[in-house]
Amino acid sequence: MKEEIEYLKKYLHREDNLEEAIKRLENGEPVQYIVGDVNFYGNTIKVNKNVLIPRRETEELVEKTYNYLKSFNNPTILDIGTGSGCIPVTLKKLIPTSSIDAVDISEEALEVAKENAQLNKVIINFFKSDIFNNVQKKYDCIISNPPYIRYDEKIMDIVKNNEPHLALYAEDNGLYFYKKIISEASKYLKEKSILAFEIGSEQALDIINIAKEYFKDAKIISEKDLQHFDRFIFIINE
């Protein structure tokens, strides 16, 4: 609690009441929601109870994807399950010549994402879509940090009690969205393309096997995060 209070003192906006903020903290609310924004890859990203709090691992996903995209000119990118919009906002700032679409099923999340694009002075095309339902183009890169927690998986109370379950949990042992995206992605990817995922630390083998079924000729790469957990899958079509 001491660290969180120091965080509040440092980042709480001037007009906010510290005493009230500490009460919210004591009631189990995440410090990021109380402050109202987080630093993500050097960018200010607004957050509230309608979106997940961006994590360090997702910063790593963005950085790794950016490195893979360096061989593309003016890449077209689709972010599935955009949430706060932290992924497309950051990629657009890293690759100003990119063209980015970002979708989410939650209208409330899309409102937050649009605010973050405006705040960071980037242009991104946000629209509501249940995965590919309203998507009509082909892309150089599809990126996603989808819900991947099993319904019977134990997670911290502060996450379970505050962050949107729509963005946390997935059916089929947490694999539902990977299966759905991978099985349909070829219709929305250009011949030379990248499919990039953040994954649960125990899901790499299952997702690799799913990818092999639908992308027989692709290079499938599993990469670890800074904690040395399997955390990212890249499907490279060359």
Digit-coded pLDDT (tens) for 40-69: 999 999 999 999 999 999 999 999 999 999
Q: What is the mean pLDDT of residues 3-26?
A: 85
Residues 6+ positions from 89 with CB-CB distance below 8 Å? 43, 45, 113, 116, 117, 120, 122, 124
Q: Which residue would you say has higher pLDDT here, 163 or 186? A: 186
Sign of CA dihedral 61, 79, 69, 118: negative
45, 82 Cβ separation under 8 angstroms: no
Q: What is the mean pLDDT of the chain?
A: 95
Tell me which amino acid residue 224 is.
K
Report the share of the chain in percent with pLDDT over 90.
Answer: 84
Q: What is the mean pLDDT of residues 183-209?
A: 97
Q: Which pLDDT score is estimated for 13? A: 81
pLDDT by residue (tens digit) across 69-126?
999 999 999 999 999 999 999 999 999 999 999 999 999 999 999 999 999 999 999 9
Q: What is the mean pLDDT of residues 186-208?
A: 97
Give me 79's structure tokens. 């972010």
Does the structure show a pLDDT above 80 at 31?
yes
Q: What is the mean pLDDT of residues 156-163?
A: 89
Backbone angles phi, psi at 83, to 5 degrees: 60, -120
* Structure confidence at residue 1 as a pLDDT band (50, 70, 90): confident
Most confident of 1-5, 34-38, 160-164: 34-38
Alpha helices in the chain, H assignment, sequence order = 2-11, 18-26, 31-35, 56-68, 86-94, 107-119, 157-160, 176-184, 204-214
Residue with the two structure tokens 């946000």: 126
Q: Which pLDDT score is estimated for 68? A: 97
Shortest CA distance to 180 belongs to which of 105, 89, 230? 105
